[in-house]
């Protein structure tokens, strides 16, 4: 895990704007659609999360069904 200033957050089902309730320094999103900065396209019903284990300090899923 990163230091307090290097915290990373992942928002599942983020759409074009991943949420960042923990004020992480780096914010990433996973959505069916890509084309936005730091948004990775993945269908999590069939695919694994495309990041290494323990890469993120926080994971949220506000709009994930």
What digits encode the pLDDT tens for the residues 26-35?
A: 999 999 987 8
* Average pLDDT, integer, range 18-45: 92
> Is 65 inside a domain boundary?
no
Average pLDDT across the chain, whole number: 90
> Is 29 inside a domain boundary?
yes
pLDDT confidence of 4, banded at 50, 70, 90? low
Cα atoms in the 13 Å half-sphere on the side-chain side of 2? 13
State how far Cα 40 lies from the chain centre: 8
Sheet holding 58-60, edge to edge: 39-41, 26-31, 8-12, 58-60
> Is 13 inside a domain boundary?
yes
> Is 55 inside a domain boundary?
yes
Query: Domain tally for the chain?
Result: 1
Q: What is the DSSP letter of 62?
A: T
Burial 38-59 (b: 16+ CB within 10 A, else e): ebeebeeeeeeeeeeeeebbee
């Amino acid at each position: 895990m990163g230091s307090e200033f290097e915290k990373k957050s992942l928002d599942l089902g983020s759409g074009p704007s991943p949420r960042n309730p923990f004020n992480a320094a780096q914010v990433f999103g996973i959505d069916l659609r890509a084309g936005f900065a730091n948004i990775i396209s993945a269908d999590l019903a069939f695919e694994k999360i495309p990041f290494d284990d323990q890469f993120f300090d926080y994971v949220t899923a506000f709009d994930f069904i």
